[in-house]
Amino acid sequence: MVIDAFHLPGLPHVPTTTWSYGRGKGAFEIRVPRLTPALLRQQVRALGEARERALAGRPVAEIVAVIDRVAARLLDPADELRRTAEGALPAITHYSPAMVGRVLDRMAADWRAAPLRELLRSELGDPRVLDGFRPAPRGHGRRMAMGPRLAAHVFSGNVPGVAVTSIVRSLLVKAATLGKTAVGEPLLPALFARAVAEEDAELGACIAVTYWHGGDEELERAALEHADAVIVYGGRDAVTAIRAKAPAEARFLAYGPRLSFGIVARGRLTAEHAGDVARAAALDASTFDQQGCVSPHVFYAEEGGDVSPRAWAAMLAREMESVERDLPRGTLSPSEASAIRQLRGHAEFAAGLDLHASAEGTAWTVVYDPEPAFEASCLNRVVRVKPVAALEEIPPLVAAYAEVLQTVGVAASAEEAGDLAAALGRLGASRIAPLGKMAWPPPWWHHDGRPPLRSLVRWCDWEE
């Protein structure tokens, strides 16, 4: 089987190469383009023409309807789109089939019409401001919102689906969209773009998804030189490199590395609640195999409850084992497995540390560590449980990471959670969520503290 991992509607003939995956009956190939700067510029011109012809004047409600139909296909186990994604993504991404299925279910649900309409209302009030002038709040004339003519996206490959969410945001604000995929996940954005074209050829002509080797100066210049917005996902080096090449006048949105952690108050460490909290924490730490920016590295547990932090670490370990049975971790590279074995070796002999580890292999690791300083994980379901005497001790412990904090999962009373949220928000965290829901932010969350649609639009006010 050969699958095209690109969507280039402006190029009738695209030279390609193939990448091979799997073995035996499960073997397949994907085709990726071998683009030249001239071909990429041709595609960029075609995107601009398609936007003026079929997207700029199109009602946003129609765009939502097309995306909704594609999302419904991705949620349908019998649909060829879903079967292709489910069949190929485990081998490409190294996530387990169960994890790929979970990701498709949860993310595609956010691309349905109802969540998208809620996103538009949350961000813009009246979504029809994208279609023309609408009355402004409090009778202050009229206003209209306009997205970029061309949004260029550079995707990372750590979590399948994030790239599609970025494409969806672009389409909602009527931007022609060019996406560069990552070597670790070149497929799902291309499948989505092709499915949009199958549902609506004119809208599909406004999206191009392709791969090229990162750092190719000529191709990146061709991709970025006419972009009004540049959206980058990835590490510091990738963000810095693309920022240097983006047009000075373009809007630049970077989603770089982030760290997340969890908090458990003593009031939730009771015989009644501690097990449920451990299950919620295990799900947060296991989803995406801890590769997501929303994945917790550390759980701070408050002392003084019926269940001690040390005992709760053992409960968390049992729940990590249970989650592994239902939602197995994917395969690791030799270096990733080696990092976990080294960490386990240190924890096994270090004074004061308790090591809980999967009996076979490196599937999951929980370390009880009385040293309270925040410590980033080596990932792949490796977490630390650290005790604190009181919740107010936690913000100073993570202050050194303020610039890269993202999601904090909290199991606490409403009053305690409110106090923590205020302190952590001022410190730098951009999202506070109940423990157990860290992995699945709602479509309208302020991604890394920024509004997902309003960051892309500019406004025109009409003072009547």
Looking at residue 346, its pLDDT comes to: 96
Q: How far is CA 155 from the centre of its chain?
A: 10
If one counts every other C-beta atom within 10 angstroms of the C-beta of residue 231, the result is 26
Looking at residue 119, its pLDDT comes to: 98
Summarised one tens digit per residue, pLDDT across range 36-90 is: 999 999 999 999 999 999 999 999 999 999 999 999 999 999 999 999 999 999 9
378 touches 339 (CB < 8 A):
yes
Strands (E), 6-141: 16-21, 28-33, 134-135
What distances in angstroms separate CA 187 from CA 12, 90, 303, 374, 458, one per listed residue?
20, 11, 46, 35, 31
- Judged by DSSP in three states, 349 sits in helix
Looking at residue 79, its pLDDT comes to: 98
Q: Yes or no: is domain 259-434 CATH 3.40.309.10?
A: yes
Q: Strands 431-434 and 405-411: what pairing?
A: parallel
Q: What is the CA angle 6-44-181, rounded to 5? A: 35
Burial of 63 (0-12, 13-18, 19+ CB in 10 A): buried
Sign of CA dihedral 151, 153, 159, 164: positive
CA distance 163 to 211: 13
Residue 139 banded pLDDT, cuts 50, 70, 90 = confident
Find, among 119, 23, 172, 179, the residue nearest to 441 by Cα.
119
Looking at residue 464, its pLDDT comes to: 85
CA distance 282 to 402: 24
Looking at residue 262, its pLDDT comes to: 98
252 touches 233 (CB < 8 A):
no
The conformation of residue 236, written as its DSSP 8-state character, comes to H
CA distance 312 to 297: 16
Instruction: Reply yes or no on whether the pLDDT at 132 is more than 90.
Output: yes
Q: Give φ, ψ of 168 to 5 degrees.
A: -60, -45
CA distance 234 to 155: 7
What distances in angstroms separate CA 23 from CA 20, 27, 57, 90, 96, one per listed residue?
9, 4, 48, 13, 16
Instruction: Reply yes or no on whether the pLDDT at 201 is more than 90.
Output: yes
Mean pLDDT value of segment 158-172: 97
Instruction: Reply yes or no on whether the pLDDT at 138 is more than 90.
Output: no
Domain with CATH 3.40.309.10 in the chain: 259-434
Find, among 165, 148, 170, 287, the residue nearest to 226 by Cα.
148
Summarised one tens digit per residue, pLDDT across range 236-265 is: 999 999 999 999 999 999 999 999 999 999
Looking at residue 383, its pLDDT comes to: 98
Summarised one tens digit per residue, pLDDT across range 321-350 is: 999 999 999 999 999 999 999 999 999 999
Summarised one tens digit per residue, pLDDT across range 375-424 is: 999 999 999 999 999 999 999 999 999 999 999 999 999 999 999 999 99
Query: Hey, which residues does 366 pair with through a beta bridge?
Result: 356, 383
Q: Which CATH architecture has domain 2-257?
A: 3-Layer(aba) Sandwich (3.40)
Looking at residue 434, its pLDDT comes to: 98
Looking at residue 60, its pLDDT comes to: 98
The conformation of residue 295, written as its DSSP 8-state character, comes to S
Rounded percentage of the chain residues whose pLDDT exceeds 90: 98
Angle separating helix axes 113-124 and 162-172, nearest 10 degrees = 60
Looking at residue 223, its pLDDT comes to: 98
Find, among 305, 304, 309, 301, the residue nearest to 409 by Cα.
301
Instruction: Reply yes or no on whether the pLDDT at 140 is more than 90.
Output: no
**HSE of 105, CA atoms in CB hemisphere, 13 A:** 8
Can you read off the two tokens belonging to residue 128?
């029809």
270 touches 307 (CB < 8 A):
yes
Can you read off the two tokens belonging to residue 238?
């990738």
Query: Hey, which residues does 177 pair with through a beta bridge?
Result: 151, 207
Q: Which DSSP string corresponds to 339-393?
A: HHHHHHHHHHHSTT-EEEE-SSTTS-EEEE----S-----SSSEEEEEEESSGGG
What mean pLDDT, rounded, does the chain reach?
A: 97
Domain with CATH 3.40.605.10 in the chain: 2-257
Summarised one tens digit per residue, pLDDT across range 272-314 is: 999 999 999 999 999 999 999 999 999 999 999 999 999 999 9
**What is the separation, in whole angstroms, between the first and last Cα of the chain?**
60
Query: Hey, which residues does 194 pair with through a beta bridge?
Result: none
Summarised one tens digit per residue, pLDDT across range 202-223 is: 999 999 999 999 999 999 999 9
